[in-house]
Structure 1
Amino acid sequence: MTAASYPLPATMQVAIAPSAGADLMIVQRPLPELQPGQVLIRVMAAGINPLDGKIRAAQAEHARQPLPATIGLDMAGVVVALAPDVTAFDVGDEVFGMVGGVGGHPGTLSEYVAADARLLAVKPQELTWQEAAVLPLVFITAWEGLVDRAKVKAGDKVLVHGGAGGVGHVAIQIAKSFGAEVWATGTASQRDLIETLGATPIDYETETVEQYVARATHAEGFDVVYDTVGGKTIDASFAAVRTYTGHVVTSLGWGTHSLAPLSFRGATYSGVFTLLPLLTGQGMTHHGEIMQEAAKLARSGLLRPVLSSRHFDLAQANEAFAQMAAPKNLGKLAITMNASSPRDGSHDHQL
């Protein structure tokens, strides 16, 4: 391991999910030892996602994270040490990425985390630690759907289901950055946020699929439909896509659905499963490349996550998860892990 430029403690605080549905426990653990290809990161902020809540409750079989386990997929922090074979980063670099919390990888609700360098990108200065920490999972999911699968382009008419949600509000911004015209479904209370993001809101509670397809596309259908909701919304997506050239993509395609509406349009469909690189080890480099795209958009002013107005530290992790699960919660949640960067001269880890 390349020597760290900052003094490191022998132990760290981490948030452990001890058993299904139990409160998170803050415990002491030794700092991780670096494996080839890894960097040691002092986590400044960790984003939490509904998936983290499902893992904590042992309700995410697809994530394969046996409990007890450290929770958390996303983070932003400072590189404090490197494995000898890592050349892409230096000690002191500020980075962000989706680096753990599934597939047996320790999570990011931890003062330090060892991460595969391929999953990381340099954090843009335009984003706060908290803003950078909440982006990785949702941005990668949105990018893989819109860009990798649907090949979104300028002039496309794009429909995002769940436009005020984590993936949805980022998908709107990505589609807009490519020059697409974007509509997004939501509730009446989410209308202002969807408009602020640059999309035309659709109140799915008062308008039928046929009505909004007619209003937005003259009944021709959308070029791209991105479903971030799942369930019956996938069926609605099949009914809303353009004949022949349209593409439906979903990040929650786990149910059983009739393909007839899609087939009768001659349209295409694909799914996104963002966890595959962490579960299989394949595709890690591409996740790092996607994070670089996130950084580019943030630097150009075209990407900004919506954060909750609530602030939490590690000791308040259980409160943060309760807030995330609240029916009227709006915005992504981050947990601040360290009050200051090691380069600020503070080495008080309160351990």
Structure 2
Amino acid sequence: MPATTLSASTLSTSTLSTSTMHAMVLNAYGPDAPFEPATLPRPTVTPGHVLVRVSATSVNTIDTMIRQLGQEELPIAPALPAVLGMDFAGTVVEVGEGVTDVAPGDEVYGCAGGLGDLQGTLADYMLADARLIARKPDRLSMRQAAALPLVAITAYEGLTRSGAGNGHKVLVHGGAGGVGHVAVQLAKHFGCEIFATGSGAAQLAQIEAFGATAIDFKEQSVDDYVQRYTDGAGFDVIFDSVGGSNLLNSFNAVALNGQVTTTLSLAELDMSAAHFKGASLHVIFMLIPMIHNVGREVHGTILARLAEIIDAGALTPLVDDHRFGLGDVGQAYAHLTSGKAVGKVVVELDAESDA
């Protein structure tokens, strides 16, 4: 796949002082709101936080929703002018009082900004709550590491909350998606027998490459694949990264007293199938610690555990081949919303982010 030419050269650091930084900001919200270059004050480190030089950041669906809807429809959106971006990988420049787990020079990753009063990652530097970050996995580049935090924390929380473990039959809906492809790999690492839905040759091949049995949901009905792969008993755990009305498929496919986890439950549904099976539904909204400042240390702990899993070779992010610099962020958002991205879309602020 051809690479998009980086245009970050338009954001030369030669005009900056040590107290300022480059950023791409939104001065208005809306589906076509442009990202505009700006020079902003460089954040000052505060207790419990670290100042990070951002090397790379990824674009998540929630980022595109914030840009489109703004504060009136999505209260978690930052005030204008807004610096978006949640995921990042970068290098610690300075640590605040009370921070002991990382030091200047450490390479870290996390999901720590881009909503409420938390400055996002589309800037040279960001101030990150030290509880929301961990040391970057050694075997990943900055570009790869930036693709993981939001989706990997979501997948990890979903699988652990549902008790997925050794010998369980786990079905992942959307197994080639951002969260889904991580859930497939983690479930395999946890000792589960993995099945995942997708469509089209590319998605099905990717699912198989991650070690799952691929199910073409356009070619096989729920009853068909439940019968084929579970002898009609249903799957022990279902991770539904599609959600919404697809939850009805999950309720029909889950085993008696089984577990269903979803990342999207914003729907009015008939819960009868879940009721008569005694199924448990777990809703994962991983932004809660960031929004409410509750349990942030859990995310740091999960990221540290994920780094161990990654460095053991059990998890590899799928990153889209297109390359975007900070000045290309509008194109990066457009690429994700086009539906043509294969894997996570990453924006690189540091020329060495893929080293």
Q: Same fold, TM exceeding 0.5?
A: yes
The 5 A counterparts of 1:152-301 are: 152-189=164-201, 190-244=203-257, 246-301=258-313
Amino acid at match of 1:47: S
CA distance in structure 2 between the aligned counterparts of 1:17 and 1:184, rounded to whole angstroms: 37
> Is the alpha carbon distance of 1:69 and 1:333 closer, same or farther for their aligned partners in structure 2, counting shifts above 3 Å?
same
Q: How much has 1:8 moved relative to structure 2?
A: 7.7
Contiguous gaps of at least 5 residues in structure 2? 1-15
- Aligned: 1:322 with 2:334: yes
Cα deviation, 1:169-198, whole Å, max 9, x if unaligned, reads: 000011000010111111123111111111
Give, in angstroms, the shift of residue 324 of structure 1.
1.0
Is the partner of 1:58 in helix, strand or coil?
A: helix
Deviations 1:83-135 (A, max 9, x none): 12211111100000001111221111111000000111101120010110010
Indicate yes or no: 2:30 matched with 1:18: no
What amino acid does structure 1 have at the position aligned with 2:120?
Answer: G
Out of 68, 71, 74, the residue aligned to residue 61 of structure 1 is: 74
Partners of 1:74 and 1:100 within 8 A in 2 = yes
- Once residues 167 and 31 of structure 1 are traced to their aligned partners in structure 2, the CA distance between those partners, rounded to angstroms, is 32
Give the match for residue 84 of structure 2.
Answer: 71
Letter in 2 for 1:126: R
Match of 2:118 in 1: 105
Kindly indicate whether the alpha-carbon contact (under 8 Å) linking 2:46 and 2:97 is maintained by their aligned counterparts in 1.
Answer: no
Distance between the aligned counterparts of 1:330 and 1:177, measured in 2?
23
Q: Partner residue of 2:46? A: 35
In structure 2, the CA distance between the partners of 1:40 and 1:211, relative to structure 1 (3 Å rule), is: same
The residue matched to 1:262 in structure 2 has which SS? helix
Q: Partners of 1:48 and 1:70 in 2: how far apart?
A: 13
Q: Deviations over 1:298-340 (max 9, x none)?
A: 1000011001111111011111111111223211111111224
Identical aligned pairs, as a percentage? 42
TM-score by length of 2: 0.91
Q: Kindly indicate whether the alpha-carbon contact (under 8 Å) linking 1:63 and 1:275 is maintained by their aligned counterparts in 2.
A: no
2:79 and 2:285 map into 1 onto residues whose CA distance is: 19
Structure 1 residues 321 and 117 mapped into 2: Cα distance closer, same or farther (>3 Å)? same
Counterpart of 2:146?
133
Query: Out of 132, 150, 153, which is 1:119 matched to?
Result: 132
User: After the TM superposition, which of the residue ranges 178-187 and 325-334 deviates more from structure 2?
Assistant: 325-334
Secondary structure at 1:57 match in 2 = helix
AA in 2 matched with 1:170? V
How far 1:65 moved relative to its partner? Answer: 3.0
Amino acid at match of 1:241: V
Letter in 1 for 2:36: M
> What SS does the corresponding residue of 1:36 show, helix, strand or coil?
coil
Cα distance in 1 for partners of 2:255, 2:95 equals 49
Please give the secondary structure, in 1, of the residue aligned with 2:255: coil
User: Does 2:62 correspond to 1:51?
Assistant: yes
Summarize deviations over 1:19-45 as a string: whole Å, max 9, x none. 122011121101011221000000011
Which residue of the partner structure matches residue 332 of structure 1? Answer: 344
Task: Return the alpha-carbon distance in structure 2 between the equivalents of residues 23 and 165 of structure 1.
Answer: 26
RMSD: 1.6
Give the secondary-structure state (helix, strand or coil) at the position aligned to 1:69. Answer: coil
Cα distance in 2 between the residues matched to 1:233 and 1:68? 37
Question: Which has the higher mean CA deviation after the structures are superposed, 57-66 or 313-322?
Answer: 57-66
Q: Is the 8 A contact 1:19 1:57 kept in 2?
A: no
SS of 2:317's equivalent?
A: coil
Structure 1: give runs of 5+ residues left out of the alignment: 1-6, 345-351
Q: Secondary structure at the match of 2:321?
A: coil
CA distance in 2, matches of 1:255, 1:204: 21
Which position in structure 1 is the counterpart of 2:10?
A: none
Look up the equivalent residue of 1:71 and give its one-letter code.
L
Cα distance in 2 between the residues matched to 1:19 and 1:226: 36
Alpha-carbon contact 2:245-2:267 (below 8 Å) kept: no
